[in-house]
Amino acid sequence: MNKRVLFVVTSHDRKGDTGKPTGFYFSEVAHPWEVLSNAGYEIDFVSPKGGKAPIEGFDLSDPINRKFWEDFVCEHKVQNTMKPSEVKPHKYDAIFYAGGHGAMWDFPRNKELAAIAREIYENGGVVAAVCHGPAALINLTLSDGTYLIDGKHISAFTNEEEKAVKLDGVVPFLLEDALKEKGAEFQKTGNFQPLAIVHGRIVTGQNPQSSTKVGEGILEVLQQNQNKN
């Protein structure tokens, strides 16, 4: 085991044509980071374009968010994310896609990131995502051509939640519907209630409130993998 996890964050900084800023949702990075870093995992960051990653939900009144931001190494990595071409997939035990509305624009069709996730998964690693992060899983296929999520229990930001935040007419598609179309057995609970689903080596969560549970789910699967080796 390498004791390293690759966090993927969006490079997209605008919500459609609204002009309103977006990016990765801050707590969806900070909360899983705390779970995994406390367990001894090193976290690296990659984004579709590399460089400084845009942030939404920047709330330092949350003590975990503040702890993350005041960690010089973490702040530096978020400000200087790797490009996909710089990633060596064999170094990672898991890949985790953070959400934030920006992910809806640049995750689904990024073939470089999909190839990284495919290699990590087929090497026996974990693929995880939370909130809008599962947008990366829509077109993710394995080497045999099958969709990773086909027949898998998957959660993500729901249609109802998108309507509740009044962005169902802004996002390029509804994530719940797109996941179902690729064969996912979609799981959900009430709006903005925490839910994390572990299906084999795939871990997904519904919304920002699920971020800690997703981190715990990733850790649980990683520990199971370690015990097998």
Q: Write out the catalytic residue numbers.
A: 131-132, 161
How many alpha carbons lie under 13 Å from residue 60 in its C-beta half-sphere? 6
Name the token pair of 95: 């890949």
> How far from 175 is each of 66, 69, 77, 81, 124, CA to CA, in Å?
30, 29, 28, 25, 26
Residues whose CB falls within 8 Å of the CB of residue 65, separated by 6 or more in sequence, listed in order: 26, 27, 30, 58, 59
How many alpha carbons lie under 13 Å from residue 114 in its C-beta half-sphere? 19
**200 CB-contact burial (10 Å; exposed 0-12 / middle 13-18 / buried 19+):** exposed
**Bridge partners of 5?**
43, 94
Whose structure tokens read 């890949």? 95
Closest CA to 177 of 188, 166, 191: 188
